[in-house]
Amino acid sequence: MLLFRRGLIVAVLLGLVAKAHAAPDAAGNVITIAIDGRPQNVLLVAPATRPVAAVVMFPGGDGVIGISPSGSIGRPGNFLIRTQDKWLARGFLFVAVDAAFGRAGTIGDRVGQANLRAIAEIARAVRSRTPAPIWLLGTSAGAPAALAGAASLPAGSIKGVVISSPVSMPGGHDSVFDVPLARISVPVLIQIHQDDHCPVTPPANAARIKAALTSAPVVEVQQFSGGSFPRSTVCEAFAQHGFIGIEDQVVAAAANWIVAH
């Protein structure tokens, strides 16, 4: 019943419009994007009031969060995903992006042409549902996806980008430096934890990322400290890498920055 009511809220507030490339399911709050025959689900959850902005979330790891056709999330632990209620309480339209079937975790998955086309479809689907500003948010391995979308979308498609604990070292994954960062012409916020010990997301690289965003009108780095004792390995969501124990503080800082820009 709760999912059905959420579907009604999305339909009433945002005017869901079925499209060939993004048809809503019966619940009305899940759309399916299919690029090169590889489907991926996207969940939209509306706040109780008119959205101040839409936040499109690209989770870390392999990007798989298990969005079902009914709108449930099988893997909700990622920092961006587990803070859904905090974003809704602040008036944001929450958009969670699942990984594409058969493409998750592969080299080029987050920054390649197939994902760029998927991001463009997602941006169009969100825009058809709300006039609110659209922001792309990516954490850890999702940060390259958010930045790649910002670098490739037509001017005016989105308002800005927020990345957290961004992957910035080469290896068996996409890095933010695989993105043509100089092409990004929207505001960018970078959030890091000073005690993030994940070897592929060193906090010190935030300065390098900022320096490479030469066309962005404003770039800010927010550094955090403290939190709870880790309950996962250093590169997983329940460590300082995922802002464990300070989620309220980090979300509030990002939300306020978004509204201000």
Band of the pLDDT at 10, cuts 50, 70, 90? Answer: very low
CATH (domain of 133): 3.40.50.1820
Name which of 225, 196, 221 is nearest 207 in CA terms: 221
Helix axes 113-127, 143-152, angle to 10 degrees: 80
> Residue 173 phi/psi, 5° resolution?
-165, 165
Band of the pLDDT at 12, cuts 50, 70, 90? Answer: very low
**Contact yes or no for 86/54 (Cβ under 8 A):** no
Name which of 237, 168, 239 is nearest 209 in CA terms: 168
pLDDT tens column, 36-86: 999 999 999 999 999 999 999 999 999 999 999 999 999 999 999 999 999
Environment class of 97 (CB within 10 Å of its CB; exposed 0-12, middle 13-18, buried 19+):
buried
Quick one: average pLDDT of 113-141? 97
Most trustworthy range by pLDDT among 10-14, 26-30, 204-208: 204-208
| pLDDT of amino acid 26 | 29
Band of the pLDDT at 28, cuts 50, 70, 90? Answer: very low
Mean pLDDT value across the chain: 89
| pLDDT of amino acid 171 | 85
Which pTM does this prediction carry? 0.89
Name which of 159, 100, 154 is nearest 132 in CA terms: 159
Judged against a pLDDT cut of 80, whether residue 169 lies above it is answered with: yes
Judged against a pLDDT cut of 50, whether residue 31 lies above it is answered with: yes
pLDDT tens column, 190-218: 999 999 999 999 999 999 999 999 999 99
Quick one: average pLDDT of 162-176? 95
Q: What is the CB-side half-sphere exposure of residue 40 using CA atoms within 13 A? A: 25
Alpha-carbon Rg for the chain in angstroms = 17
| pLDDT of amino acid 2 | 33
Q: What is the largest CA-CA distance in the chain?
A: 49
Judged against a pLDDT cut of 70, whether residue 221 lies above it is answered with: yes
| pLDDT of amino acid 107 | 86
Domain that holds residue 194: 2-260
How many domains, in total, are found in the chain?
A: 1
Name which of 210, 218, 203, 204 is nearest 181 in CA terms: 210
| pLDDT of amino acid 21 | 32
In three-state secondary structure terms, 145 is helix
